[in-house]
Amino acid sequence: MPPFTEEHGELRASVRRFVARELRPHATAWEDARWFPPSVHTSGSPRHRSGSSARR
């Protein structure tokens, strides 16, 4: 059996798209400022969040 499921592959692709769209364009400026907006932690689909705030 493969180590990852199709759902895992879909999640990885979704995360890659999110990073390319929402994070990568700002990464250099955030690194230079040694800061990034707290909204980064709350953006994205609730389905893909982890931790106690995740919907199950």
Q: What are the structure tokens assigned to 56, written together?
A: 């199950």
% residues pLDDT > 90 (the chain): 52
1-56 pLDDT, tens digit each: 678 899 999 999 999 999 999 999 999 999 999 998 888 877 765 554 554 444 44
| Largest CA-CA distance found in the chain, in angstroms, rounded | 45
- Rg of the chain on CA atoms, in Å: 14
d(CA 31, CA 35) in angstroms, rounded, equals 6
Q: What pLDDT sits at residue 45?
A: 55
Contact 40, 23 (CB under 8 A): yes
d(CA 50, CA 11) in angstroms, rounded, equals 12
